[in-house]
Chain A
Amino acid sequence: MTNSKFWMPSRRTVLKAGLAAGALPFGAPYISTALGEDTVKIGYVDPLTGVYAALAKNEVEGAKLAVEEINAKGGITGRQVELLVEDSANDAGTGVQKANKLIDGSHINVLFGDVNSSIALALAQTANQKGVLHIVPGGHTDAVTGKSCHWSTFRVCNTTRMETNAVGKAVADQYGKKWFFLTADYAFGHTLQEGMEASLKEVGGTVAGTALAPLGTTDFSAYLIQAQAAQPDAIIVLNAGGDTVNSLKQIVQFGIDKQIHVAGAQQELEVLLALPPEARIGTWVFEWYWKQAGVAGVDDFVAKVRKRTNAAPTARTWFGYTCAYTYALIANQEKTLDAVKLAHALEGFTLPPEVAMQPNKAYFRAEDHQLMTSLYVGKAKPDGGPSGDDLFDVANVVAGDKAAPPASETGCKLTWPS
C-alpha cells in the first residue's frame, strides 16, 4: 500500500466512511413510497438478478403500472397500495427468506412470485403456512395448481398441459406426425413432453426419439445430431429462456430447419428478441400477445407500456398487471383483506375484459385455482416490423378452459383451514 502510485485512503478513513454511511434501516424495501402505515401492501418476490432477470423485470413493470392505476382510482378498500419488490436472486432459500421478510417484517397482505418454478412452490408453501394469499404470476410447473396446490395459492400463467393441448394438434396437422423431442431435463421440460406426447398419441403419431438436455446446456450439437439422424417431420423444442435461444440458434446454424420443421410449446417475446432474425422460426404458443386487433383495452395498455419502457408489453408484463388487478378487484368486491374470504371469492372469479385483454373469458377455476386464460398459437417471424418487436404471427387463440385438462386430472386436492 505504501509504494502505490495510486491514492488509496487509509483503513481508518474507510472505516469511518462506512460507519458514517449509517446503519441502513433493517427492512425497508426500495419501492416503498412514503405512504405510512395505513396502506395495503403487496409483496412481490421475483428473480431480478440471474438468468430470468429480463422476465422478472417485465413482470414487475406490469405490476407497477397496475398499482399506479389502482391507486389513481382510489386504491384497495379505500386505502392506497404499496408494491414492495424483493429479489429472489433465482435461489429458493433467498426467496423464502424474502417472503418471510415481507410477511413478518413488512406485514404484506398478499404475495406474488416467482418466475422460477421451484421458488414459486417454496413461496406457495411459505405463504400457506402463514395464511397469506399468494398469486403466482409466471411460474409454470404444473404442481403449483396440481399436486402441490393450496387454498391460498392461485396462478395466472398457463400450466404446461394447457400449452401442449393448445398447440399439439396444430403441429401434427401442419407438419406431420413423426416427432423428435429436444427437452430440457427438468420438471418443466418433462411435463411439456408428457403433454405433447399425449397430443401426439391422440392423432396416432410416433415419437422418433428424445434428447434430454440438462438445464443450462449451451451446446446442443450432440442432441441435434441425434435429431437429424432420426429424420422426423418436426423437432419439438421444449425448453425456455437461454436454452431456447441457444438451441434455435444452433438449429438454424446447422441448417436443420431447412429439412425439418421446428415447433414447441411455450415461447416468449423475450426469447425471440434475443435471437438473431434468421433464428426466429417455428410454431409456438404464447400466453398473451400485444397485437390483438379488435380486443378491448389492448391498444391502450400497449401504448402505456411503450411510453414507460420503450418496448411492447410481453406476456410477462401482462402476468404482473393481472396479478395486481386480480387482488385489487377481488378485495374491493368483497370489501375485506382476509385471505380465506378472498380465496373463496376468487374461485370462479372472472376477470373484466379490460384486464383480461383476450378474446375469451378468463376466470379462476374453482377446483385448482388456475386461471383459465387463452393460449395464442402461431409462428415466429424474423422481421419485427416498424417497432422491431412484432415477432409473432398469431394463427388462432384457444380458450383456456378448452385447453385445460379436467381439474380431476391435475392431482389437486384443496383443503381449507377449519
Chain B
Amino acid sequence: MNGSLTDGPLPKKILSPHLIVIWLFLLSLPLWLLAIGGYYSIVTQVLILGLAAMALNYLLGFTGVLSFGHAAYFGLGAYGCGLTIKFIAASTPLGILVGVMVGTIAGALIGALIVRLRGVYFAMVTIAFSQVFYFIAFRWNSVTGGDDGLGGFERRPIDLFGFTIDIQHNQMLFYYFVLLLVALGVGAMGLLLRSPLGRAQLAIRENERRARFLGLNIERHIWIAWVISCGFTSLAGALYALLDNFADPRLLYWTFSGDLVIMTVLGGMRSFWGPMLGAALFVILRDTVSSHTENWMSFIGLFFVLVVLFFPRGVLGMLQRRKGG
C-alpha cells in the first residue's frame, strides 16, 4: 500500500503526494479562478457541500449506516448561525459556534432515540425527524421567516489580534476562511477514522454481528459516529448560511438530504475523498449545464445513470479499482 488517496479506505500517510496536489489546487484556486470565468460563490459552495457529504460518509461509508435525514442538522446549523447573527450578536464565530452546538445537540438527542434501528428503517426514521424540523421552520415564521426564508443578516468581519479579516465583503478571504474550517473538519474526521474509535466503526460496517461478538458496544459506537457526523454536517450548514447570507426551510427538506446522499454515492462511498469529488461534480456540472440548456435535468439524470452503470463504486471508486488492478 503506497498510501495514495485512492487507496482505500483512507490515506495511510498524511502528506501523500495526491493529498499535496489537492491542497495546492485548493489553495491556489483564487489565483486562476476568475481568469477562467469562474466565480467564488460556487467553489466555496463546493467546499461546504463537500464537507457535508464527507460528514455523511463518515456514517455511511465508514460505519455502514445510511441516514436520509441529514438535512435536519445542516438546516439547524444554518438557522442557528443565522438567527444568532441576526438576533443575538453580530459575530461570525459565535454564529458558527451556536449553529454547530444546536445541530450536534439535536443529533445527540435524536441519535439516542433511533440507534437501535437498522438499515432502511433507520434511514426512514431520520427523514421523519428532518421533516418535523422543516415543519417547525416553515410555521414558526415570526422567528424563522417561514417560507420567505431567514434573511436580514450578513456574515460579519472577524477581528483577530487587532486585524480585521473582512470576510463580509472580500469573497476571496471568505473562501480561505471556509477552506480553513473545512480542512480542520476533514482533518478531524480523518484522525478519528484512524483512531481505535474509527477502527471499531469499520468493524461494524464490515460485519455487525461479528463485531458484537468481539465485545463492541454496537449501539454506543453507532451513536458516537452519528453525533460526529451530525456535528460536522451542522458546521457545513452554518457556513452555508454565511455563504448566502440566507437560510430557508428547503435546507431541512428530505430532497436536500437526498442531494447529499447522491453526492456521496456519486463520488464513491468507500473512499475518503469521494464525497468531496461527488459534491464538486454535482454542483459544478449542474451549474454549468443549467446555464447552457433548459433541459439540464435530462443531462444530469443521464449522468447519474451512466455513473451507476459504468462506475460501480462511484467515480473515485473507479480510480481505486484501477489502481488495484
Residues in A lying within 8 Å of B, measured CB to CB: 8, 11, 14, 24-30, 48-49, 86-87, 89, 91-93, 96-98, 100-101, 104-105, 117-118, 121-122, 125-126, 129, 141, 143, 148, 185-187, 215
- Contacts A93-B240, A187-B147 given; indicate if A24 touches B292 (C-beta within 8 A): yes
Assess the A93–B38 pair: CB atoms within 8 A. Answer: no
Which 4 A/B pairs are nearest by Cβ-Cβ distance? A100-B41, A26-B37, A105-B39, A104-B39
Assess the A117–B148 pair: CB atoms within 8 A. Answer: yes
Identify the stretch in B88-96, B158-166, B244-252 within 8 Å (CB) of chain A at 4 or more residues: B244-252
Identify the stretch in B19-27, B60-68, B149-157 within 8 Å (CB) of chain A at 4 or more residues: B149-157
B290: A residues at CB distance < 8 A:
86-87, 89
Q: Can you list 29 contacts pairing A with B, beta carbon distance less than 8 Å?
A: A8-B309, A11-B318, A14-B306, A14-B310, A25-B37, A26-B37, A26-B38, A26-B288, A28-B292, A30-B294, A49-B296, A49-B297, A86-B291, A87-B290, A92-B149, A93-B246, A98-B287, A100-B40, A101-B291, A104-B41, A118-B248, A121-B151, A122-B246, A125-B246, A126-B245, A126-B246, A148-B151, A186-B146, A186-B148
Given A48, A121, A129, A186, which contacts B294 in the complex, CB threshold below 8 Å? A48
Assess the B248–A122 pair: CB atoms within 8 A. Answer: yes
Instruction: For B135, give the chain A residue with the smallest CB separation.
Output: A214
B148: A residues at CB distance < 8 A:
117-118, 121, 141, 143, 186-187
Assess the A93–B37 pair: CB atoms within 8 A. Answer: no
Main secondary structure of the interface of B (DSSP, over half): helix
B124 contacts A by Cβ under 8 Å:
no
Assess the B149–A30 pair: CB atoms within 8 A. Answer: no
Inter-chain CA distance A30–B152, complex, in Å, is 32
Instruction: For A89, give the chain B residue with the smallest CB separation.
Output: B290
A185: B residues at CB distance < 8 A:
139
A27: B residues at CB distance < 8 A:
37-39, 288, 291
Inter-chain CA distance A187–B151, complex, in Å, is 14
Inter-chain CA distance A117–B141, complex, in Å, is 14
Assess the B246–A28 pair: CB atoms within 8 A. Answer: no
B201 contacts A by Cβ under 8 Å:
no
Assess the B147–A215 pair: CB atoms within 8 A. Answer: yes
Least CB distance, B87 to chain A, in whole angstroms: 15
A48: B residues at CB distance < 8 A:
294
Least CB distance, A259 to chain B, in whole angstroms: 32
Inter-chain CA distance A121–B248, complex, in Å, is 11
**8 Å CB interface, B25-65 against A:** 36-42, 45
Assess the A186–B149 pair: CB atoms within 8 A. Answer: no
Inter-chain CA distance A92–B78, complex, in Å, is 13
B207 contacts A by Cβ under 8 Å:
no
A186: B residues at CB distance < 8 A:
138, 146-148
CB 8 Å contact bits of B167-198 with A (1 = contact, 0 = none): 00001000000000000000000000000000
Inter-chain CA distance A331–B296, complex, in Å, is 34
Inter-chain CA distance A25–B288, complex, in Å, is 8
- Contacts A28-B291, A187-B148 given; indicate if A87 touches B296 (C-beta within 8 A): yes
Inter-chain CA distance A98–B287, complex, in Å, is 8
Inter-chain CA distance A206–B140, complex, in Å, is 27
B251: A residues at CB distance < 8 A:
93
Inter-chain CA distance A394–B152, complex, in Å, is 40
Given B139, B146, B245, B287, which contacts A129 in the complex, CB threshold below 8 Å? B245
Instruction: For B285, give the chain A residue with the smallest CB separation.
Output: A24
Inter-chain CA distance A96–B251, complex, in Å, is 14
Assess the B248–A92 pair: CB atoms within 8 A. Answer: yes
Assess the A118–B147 pair: CB atoms within 8 A. Answer: yes
Known contacts A14-B306, A104-B41, A126-B245; 9 additional CB pairs below 8 A are A93-B244, A100-B39, A101-B39, A117-B147, A118-B147, A125-B245, A125-B246, A143-B148, A187-B147
- Contacts A25-B37, A48-B294, A186-B147 given; indicate if A148 touches B244 (C-beta within 8 A): no
Assess the A121–B149 pair: CB atoms within 8 A. Answer: yes
Least CB distance, A157 to chain B, in whole angstroms: 16
**8 Å CB interface, B227-263 against A:** 240, 244-246, 248, 250-251
Instruction: For A11, give the chain B residue with the smallest CB separation.
Output: B310
Least CB distance, A15 to chain B, in whole angstroms: 8
Inter-chain CA distance A101–B42, complex, in Å, is 8
A49: B residues at CB distance < 8 A:
294, 296-297
Inter-chain CA distance A27–B289, complex, in Å, is 9
Inter-chain CA distance A104–B141, complex, in Å, is 32
Given A14, A97, A141, A143, which contacts B287 in the complex, CB threshold below 8 Å? A97
B38: A residues at CB distance < 8 A:
26-27, 105
B311 contacts A by Cβ under 8 Å:
yes
Assess the A101–B41 pair: CB atoms within 8 A. Answer: yes
Inter-chain CA distance A126–B290, complex, in Å, is 20
B240: A residues at CB distance < 8 A:
93
Inter-chain CA distance A118–B40, complex, in Å, is 23
Assess the A96–B244 pair: CB atoms within 8 A. Answer: yes
Inter-chain CA distance A105–B139, complex, in Å, is 36
Given B41, B291, B306, which contacts A29 in the complex, CB threshold below 8 Å? B291
Inter-chain CA distance A117–B248, complex, in Å, is 12
Least CB distance, B88 to chain A, in whole angstroms: 20
Instruction: For B141, give the chain A residue with the smallest CB separation.
Output: A187
B2 contacts A by Cβ under 8 Å:
no
Assess the A97–B37 pair: CB atoms within 8 A. Answer: no
Least CB distance, B260 to chain A, in whole angstroms: 13
Inter-chain CA distance A30–B240, complex, in Å, is 27
- Contacts A129-B245, A148-B152, A186-B146 given; indicate if A91 touches B293 (C-beta within 8 A): no
Inter-chain CA distance A96–B291, complex, in Å, is 14
Inter-chain CA distance A129–B139, complex, in Å, is 28
A129: B residues at CB distance < 8 A:
154, 245
B318: A residues at CB distance < 8 A:
11
**8 Å CB interface, B273-325 against A:** 287-294, 296-297, 306, 309-311, 318
Inter-chain CA distance A215–B288, complex, in Å, is 31
B311: A residues at CB distance < 8 A:
11
A25: B residues at CB distance < 8 A:
37, 288
Inter-chain CA distance A97–B46, complex, in Å, is 11
B306: A residues at CB distance < 8 A:
14
Least CB distance, A210 to chain B, in whole angstroms: 15
